[in-house]
């Protein structure tokens, strides 16, 4: 119920708590099934006016099967927040990587590899062979900037 609260910070806190709980379940049980009511709340949060609420909702939906809410994720490919776009690409690519998803990444490249591009490398990996060489190079630079890899 708090995911739909009128105040955005309450919604964000509820989503964060849900995220922590799902991470714990995945760690303990390997899988974290979500109840339909929770998925419905997350899908509604994809259209929230608050950037952080949308970001957290699309991040949490990675724990759920994508097919039932793929249509709700598609508008996130045009979200003004690049991190929302990148996470939507990653989720939708679980169904099928496409050239359309790679094009979203081409249009929403991080300006520079830094700690704000955390979700970008996963999105590039998710589109697989549709990712251009320049996207793969940028993803590698992002990983390096984040301390997740060493330079070639």
- The most confident of the ranges 1-10, 81-90, 109-118 is 81-90
Inform me whether the pLDDT recorded for 25 exceeds 60.
no
Contact between residue 23 and residue 57 where contact means Cβ atoms under 8 Å apart = no
More confident of the two residues 135 and 63: 135
Does residue 63 carry a pLDDT above 80?
no
103-110: long-range contacts (C-beta < 8 A, 24 or more apart)? 104/77, 105/131, 105/135, 106/132, 106/135, 108/82, 109/135, 109/138, 110/82, 110/138, 110/142
Higher-pLDDT residue of 112 and 138 is 138
User: Given a cut of 50, is residue 27 above it in pLDDT?
Assistant: no
Structure confidence at residue 6 (pLDDT): 64
Summarize the confidence of residues 18-44 as an average pLDDT. Answer: 67
């Amino acid at each position: 119920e708090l995911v739909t609260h009128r105040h955005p910070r309450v919604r964000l806190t509820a989503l964060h708590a849900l995220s922590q709980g799902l991470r714990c379940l995945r760690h303990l049980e390997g899988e974290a099934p979500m109840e339909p009511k929770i998925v419905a709340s997350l899908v509604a949060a994809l259209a929230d006016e608050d950037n952080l609420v949308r970001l957290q909702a699309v991040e949490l939906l990675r724990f759920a099967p994508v097919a039932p809410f793929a249509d709700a994720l598609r508008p996130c490919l045009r979200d003004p927040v690049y991190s929302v776009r990148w996470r939507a690409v990653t989720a939708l690519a679980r169904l099928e990587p496409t050239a359309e998803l790679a094009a979203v990444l081409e249009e929403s490249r991080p300006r520079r590899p830094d700690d704000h591009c955390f979700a970008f490398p996963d999105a590039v990996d998710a589109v697989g062979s549709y990712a251009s060489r320049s996207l793969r190079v940028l993803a590698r630079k992002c990983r390096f900037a984040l301390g997740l890899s060493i330079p070639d």
